């Protein structure tokens, strides 16, 4: 009698433990979802930024200052005269231009991310040049051969990128690489003309897209990183 | 009526380029008395920035920055600056646009006064040219429509 009671009790305890674990896993699930939601260019944050006037004004001011700095660097590059009169003229002109066009340069980029984005973009350029050289060699090898084994085709793929600036970067990278030309972007679908099967396969492998997503910290890229982090937490929990 | 372009590449690159074009135009105007360029060229580049904005982002968004009314006012201001500086020289006892006489009110020597006078005249010319170019652009691309229309005419 007591043994069955004991067994029942232990079974109950196990069930409770199981439920607790399921609950913990559920909580972690929602936490991961929450983190992923937070890290993407989330609508909530955007709405918050839009609806709180102070933050909006701050964003505008930051955009204004950033635009002024960039334009003033451009001005100094052009002008080459560093006396007080011309520098004052430059500051006034750049401030006026930034006041008129403060919403254009940083339209879809959060200002805090700018430094990271710029650094990653500069790091992306050598890789792009290397890709261009490789593609050049490939296209030359196609053209020089007597049979000229080209296989022109149109590749369409749906991109995972979200912002317009990343779309443009990817499209221009594809066009810069010999053998491929971006013909159109419609609702996130790229229509790319590819010269040969190899080029098309390279395109479908999507390394360039991953790298562009990495530059602009797009949602899917971060999401993958989050899942990798979360699996580590899961494993430690399971042990 | 030009609608907003649906090509994301054109739109984004226009958005990124317009501030630089305007800054370059102002550079051309401000350095007109040292290097090639000047009021007319700078004004045309300024207007080109607005035309680019109009072609890529549609006339509605461009009107928020530069409407026909504002363009008319700015062109008048440009002509006023040009004529004002000329008349100021007349009042100070010189010929029309005789910048050397401006040294009396600017408090600098004659050579420097000429330089500043030319700069002021160039700013006036640039404003007038920019505004008139924008007006021509607006008139050409809204022909046969009043601004109250929704732009439903193809």
| Nearest Cβ partner for A97 among B9, B16, B19 | B19
Q: Is A215 left (phi over 0), alpha (psi -120 to 50) or beta?
A: alpha
Q: Please provide the size of chain B in residues.
A: 154
Are the beta carbons of B7 and A167 separated by less than 8 Å? no
Cβ pair B9:A167 closer than 8 A = yes
Q: What is the pLDDT of residue A73?
A: 93
CB A198 within 8 A of CB A150: no
Q: Do B12 and A167 touch (CB under 8 A)?
A: yes
Q: Is A167 on the interface with B (CB under 8 A)?
A: yes
Say what the ipTM of the complex is.
0.84
CB B8 within 8 Å of CB A164 = yes
**Do the Cβ atoms of B19 and A81 come within 8 Å?**
no
Question: Cα(A190)–Cα(A195) distance, rounded to whole angstroms?
Answer: 16
Structure-token match 């409770």, residue found: A16
The whole-number pLDDT of residue B61 equals 86
The answer on pLDDT for B147 being more than 60 is: no
B53 Cα to chain A: minimum distance (Å): 10
Sign for the CA dihedral angle at A82, A88, A89, A92 comes to: positive
- Contact call for B27 and A79, based on CB within 8 A: yes
Closest Cβ opposite residue A74 in set B9, B11, B23: B23
Give me the pLDDT at residue B22, please. Answer: 94
What pLDDT digit, counting tens, does each position of B35-92 carry? Answer: 888 889 999 999 999 999 999 988 888 888 888 899 999 999 999 999 999 999 999 8
- For B59-93, give one letter per residue: b (16+ CB within 10 A) or e: beebbebbeeeebeebbeebbebbeebbebbeeee
Nearest by CB to residue A168, choosing from B13, B18, B19, is: B13
Percent of chain B at pLDDT above 70?
92
Q: Which residue has the higher pLDDT, A83 or B150?
A: A83
pLDDT (tens place) for every residue of chain A, 239 residues total? 677 888 888 888 888 888 888 888 888 888 888 777 777 766 666 666 666 677 778 778 888 888 899 999 999 999 888 889 889 999 999 999 999 888 888 776 666 677 788 888 999 999 999 999 999 999 999 999 988 888 899 999 888 888 888 899 999 999 999 989 999 898 889 999 999 998 898 888 888 888 888 888 775 555 555 566 677 777 777 76
Nearest to A105 among B16, B31, B65 (CB): B16
At B122 the pLDDT is 92
- B9 chain-A contacts, CB cut-off 8 A: 167-168, 171-172, 182, 185
B19-42 CB burial, b ≥16 within 10 A, e <16 = bbbbbbbbbbbbbbeeeebbbbbb
Residue A206: per-residue pLDDT: 83
pLDDT value for A130: 95
How far is it, in rounded angstroms, from Cα A44 to Cα A52?
Answer: 12
Interface test with A, best of B9, B31, B63, B119 (most A CBs within 10 A): B9
Contact call for A93 and B65, based on CB within 8 A: no
pLDDT at B79: 95
What does the pLDDT read at residue B26?
93
A167 and B8 within 8 Å at the Cβ level: the answer is yes
Mean pLDDT on B89-105:
87
Interface touch A168/B65, C-beta < 8 Å: no
Q: What is the pLDDT of residue A56?
A: 75
User: pLDDT band at B135, cuts 50/70/90?
Assistant: very high
Q: Which residues of B touch A100 (CB under 8 A)?
A: 22, 65
Q: Encoding tokens for residue A233? A: 């937490």
| Record: contact A101-B24, CB cut-off 8 A | no
| Top-confidence residue, A129 or B141 | A129
Which pTM was predicted? 0.74
What is the average pLDDT across B124-138?
94
């Amino acid at each position: 009698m007591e043994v069955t009671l004991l067994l029942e009790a232990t079974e109950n305890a196990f069930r409770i433990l199981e439920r607790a674990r399921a609950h913990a896993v559920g909580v972690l699930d929602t936490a991961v979802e929450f983190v992923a939601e937070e890290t993407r260019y989330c609508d909530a944050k955007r709405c918050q930024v839009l609806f709180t006037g102070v933050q909006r004004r701050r964003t505008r001011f930051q955009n204004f200052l950033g635009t002024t700095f960039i334009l003033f660097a451009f001005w100094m590059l052009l002008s080459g005269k560093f006396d007080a009169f011309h520098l004052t003229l430059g500051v006034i002109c750049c401030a006026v231009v930034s006041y008129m066009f403060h919403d254009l340069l940083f339209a879809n980029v959060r200002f805090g991310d700018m430094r990271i984005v710029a650094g990653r973009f500069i790091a992306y350029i050598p890789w792009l040049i290397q890709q261009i050289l490789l593609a050049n060699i490939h296209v030359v090898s196609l053209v020089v051969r007597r049979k000229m084994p080209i296989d022109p085709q149109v590749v369409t793929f749906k991109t995972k990128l979200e912002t317009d600036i990343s779309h443009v970067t990817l499209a221009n990278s594809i066009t810069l690489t010999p053998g491929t030309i971006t013909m159109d972007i419609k609702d996130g679908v790229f229509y790319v003309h590819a010269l040969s099967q190899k080029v098309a396969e390279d395109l479908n492998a999507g390394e360039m897209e991953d790298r562009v997503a990495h530059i602009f910290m797009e949602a899917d890229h971060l999401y993958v990183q989050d899942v990798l982090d979360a699996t580590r937490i899961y494993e430690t929990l399971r042990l | 009526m030009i609608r907003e372009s649906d090509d994301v590449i054109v739109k984004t690159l226009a958005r990124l380029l317009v501030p630089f074009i305007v800054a370059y135009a102002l550079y051309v105007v401000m350095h007109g008395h040292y290097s090639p360029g000047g009021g007319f060229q700078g004004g045309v580049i300024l207007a080109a920035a607005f035309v680019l904005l109009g072609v890529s982002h549609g006339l509605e968004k461009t009107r928020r920055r530069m409407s026909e009314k504002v363009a008319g006012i700015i062109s008048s201001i440009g002509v006023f600056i040009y004529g004002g500086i000329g008349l100021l020289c007349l009042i100070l006892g010189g010929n029309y646009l005789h910048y050397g006489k401006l040294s009396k009110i600017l408090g600098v020597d004659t050579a420097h006064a000429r330089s500043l006078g030319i700069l002021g005249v160039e700013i006036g010319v640039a404003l007038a040219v920019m505004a008139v170019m924008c007006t021509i652009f607006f008139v050409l691309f809204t022909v046969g429509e009043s601004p109250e229309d929704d732009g439903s005419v193809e």
